[in-house]
Amino acid sequence: MPLAIDNIRVGRVYKLVNYGEIRFLEVMERIGRENFKMKDLATLEYYELEELLRWGKGKDYDLDEVR
């Protein structure tokens, strides 16, 4: 069961699975009520959570805290 967006915390690392893509993301800062600036730990690029979920949540959507 995926973690609710309300439970995301700054400084933590999360595993995001959506539409077959798996990303490990570190939360850098909260920039809105349900939007966060996140750093992809594989590519070191920065994304907004809204950007990653823009096209919806696929059947395989999962968000879990890693550390």
Region 34-53: mean pLDDT is 94
Domain count along the chain:
1
pTM value?
0.88
Answer whether residue 23 is part of any domain.
no
Within-domain flag for 48: yes
Domain membership flag for residue 38? yes
Calculated CA dihedral for residues 25, 47, 31, 4, nearest 10 degrees: -50
Rounded to a whole number of angstroms, the CA Rg of the chain reads 11
Q: Which of 52, 13, 57, 8 is nearest to 34 (CA)?
A: 8
pLDDT greater than 90 at residue 26: yes
Does a structural domain hold residue 32? yes
Q: Is residue 46 part of a domain?
A: yes
- Residue in 6, 19, 10 with CA at minimum distance from that of residue 62: 19
Structural domain span for residue 38:
6-15+28-65
Whether 22 is in a domain gets the answer no
Domain contains 1: no
The pLDDT-based confidence of 22 (bands split at 50, 70, 90) is very high
